[in-house]
Amino acid sequence: MRAPGARGLRLGVRVPTRRGRRARQGVGRPARRLGAEALPGGIPLHAGAFPPGGCTARPWPCGRAGPGSWRPGDASPAPPAAGVSNMIARLAKTCTLRISPSRLNFILADRVAHGGVSMWCELEQENFFSEFQMEGVSAESNAIYLELISENLSRALKTAQNARALKIKLTNKHFPCLTVSIELLSVSNSSRIVTHDIPIKVIPRKLWKDLQEPTVPDSDVSIYLPLLKTMKSVVEKMKNISNHLIIEANLNGDLNLKIESELVCVTTHFKDLGNPPVAWEDASQDRNPARMVEVHVDIRKFLQFLSGQQVNPTKAVCNIVSNKVVHFDLLHEDVSLQYFIPALS
């Protein structure tokens, strides 16, 4: 029986080491391309398959079945991956990881009761992994959805910052795991390998529909964001005074952050930020570009978003749908992030 959600997955990583016991644990495998090969369990792997006895092809517990094969072979430079997972951990406690042949997505779709924040983070597989193998539930739905505690992943990848190689696999060790194997640099010849088993839940296909890429709403104003660090320090101070933040912007490149309480009103004005060209075309002719469009949001949600951004993105756009939602669209070098904060009623 196959799990409704995933057939197989493994992200192998170049770890030049001897085969043997370690190999059986799923670590330490030469990065030789052996061509398509069958894993025990009869799950065919794609190019760059592990040698027989490979790491991921253990049967799944009953009801869940074949491990998908997703393997970012030489998940080469560990730091960028660690950076992404660190950002995700700051943004969401638990998240869904979607794996498809070409990209990985970190997804958060919070229930309205918890604030209704949603997130869609996307990275191109080939920018992160030198070797990548995955096999979804079927050819038509070639994807794997996993739920995990994001901090577990970021903590595991943190160890990999100075590693020689990193390998991530979907395994089954009494329960489904994402196994992160890291070969550390060592002075002597003997290699040191750290293995993290991150417990995960494989999400069955019937729930996938809740985890699709969110559609970007037609925004009333679209504006480039100022330096996120400046915004963060402003919002941090504002949070001490109020829970309720008003974000307003217009098509003249003005963005204001505003709080109002019985004691104090504070408004921070950002000017000359510029508006993405699309917004101009969409804007109706008679519309006054100076007119402010506003949205009220939970200041903690906004701060959480800002705190997640340790590196200023190459492009950051804020889209406001008046009194409905604010959508942030961030582009880092290899990662794009969309973050939605619903308006407070």
Partner 1 sequence: MPLLNQQIQDENDYSLTASLDNVRNLSTILKAIHFQEHATCFATKNGIKVTVENAKCVQANAFIQAGIFQEFKVQEEPVTFRINLTVLLDCLSIFGSSSMPGTLTALQMCYQGYGYPLMLFLEEGGVVTVCKINTQEPEETLDFDFCSTNVINKIILQSEGLREAFSELDMTSEVLQITMSPDKPYFRLSTFGNAGSSHLDYPKDSDLMESFNCTQNQVNRYKISLLKPSTKALVLSCKVSIRTDNRGFLSLQYMIRNDDGQICFVEYYCCPDEVPEPDS
Residue of 241, 308, 255, 253 lying closest to 89 (CA atoms): 308
Determine which residue in the list 153, 221, 238, 326 makes contact with partner 1, applying CB under 8 A.
Answer: 238
Q: How many CB atoms lie within 10 A of CB 81?
A: 28
Q: Which is nearer to partner 1, 126 or 236 (CB)?
A: 236
Question: At its nearest, how many Å lie between partner 1 and the CB of residue 48?
Answer: 48
Residues 120/105, Cβ–Cβ less than 8 Å: yes
Q: Which backbone phi and psi does 85 adopt, to 5 degrees?
A: -65, -30
Residue of 273, 280, 243 lying closest to 259 (CA atoms): 243
207 binds partner 1 (CB under 8 A): no
149 binds partner 1 (CB under 8 A): no
Q: Which is nearer to partner 1, 94 or 233 (CB)?
A: 233
> Which one-letter amino acid corresponds to residue 199?
P
Q: Which is nearer to partner 1, 310 or 323 (CB)?
A: 310
Question: At its nearest, how many Å lie between partner 1 and the CB of residue 233?
Answer: 4
Q: Which is nearer to partner 1, 102 or 233 (CB)?
A: 233
Q: Which is nearer to partner 1, 140 or 262 (CB)?
A: 262
Query: Contact region for partner 1 (CB under 8 A) — 25-33, 82-90, 233-241, 299-307?
Result: 233-241
SS3 67: coil
Query: Contact region for partner 1 (CB under 8 A) — 98-106, 143-151, 226-234, 308-316?
Result: 226-234
Q: How many CB atoms lie within 10 A of CB 187?
A: 5
Count of residues engaged in binding partner 1, rule: CB under 8 A: 19
Question: At its nearest, how many Å lie between partner 1 and the CB of residue 268?
Answer: 4
Q: How many CB atoms lie within 10 A of CB 226?
A: 19
Q: Which is nearer to partner 1, 183 or 254 (CB)?
A: 254
Residue of 12, 4, 22 lying closest to 201 (CA atoms): 4
Q: Which is nearer to partner 1, 160 or 235 (CB)?
A: 235
Query: Contact region for partner 1 (CB under 8 A) — 77-85, 159-167, 198-206, 257-265?
Result: 257-265
Identify residues 260-319 at the interface with partner 1 (CB under 8 A).
262-272
Determine which residue in the list 5, 226, 308, 342 makes contact with partner 1, applying CB under 8 A.
Answer: 226
Is beta strand 163-173 parallel, antiparallel or unpaired with respect to 8-11? antiparallel
| Residue 43 neighbours by CB under 8 Å, 6+ apart | 7, 8, 57, 66, 67, 69, 135
Vertex 199: Cα angle to 194 and 205 (nearest 5): 135
Q: Which is nearer to partner 1, 177 or 292 (CB)?
A: 292
Query: Contact region for partner 1 (CB under 8 A) — 165-173, 227-235, 274-282, 336-344?
Result: 227-235
Residue of 132, 153, 147 lying closest to 47 (CA atoms): 132
Q: Is 245 exposed, middle or buried (0-12, 13-18, 19+ CB in 10 A)?
A: buried
Determine which residue in the list 34, 184, 241, 279 makes contact with partner 1, applying CB under 8 A.
Answer: 241
Round to whole Å and give the CA distance between 257 and 98: 34
237 binds partner 1 (CB under 8 A): yes
Interacting residues toward partner 1 by CB under 8 A = 226, 230, 233-234, 237-238, 240-241, 262-272
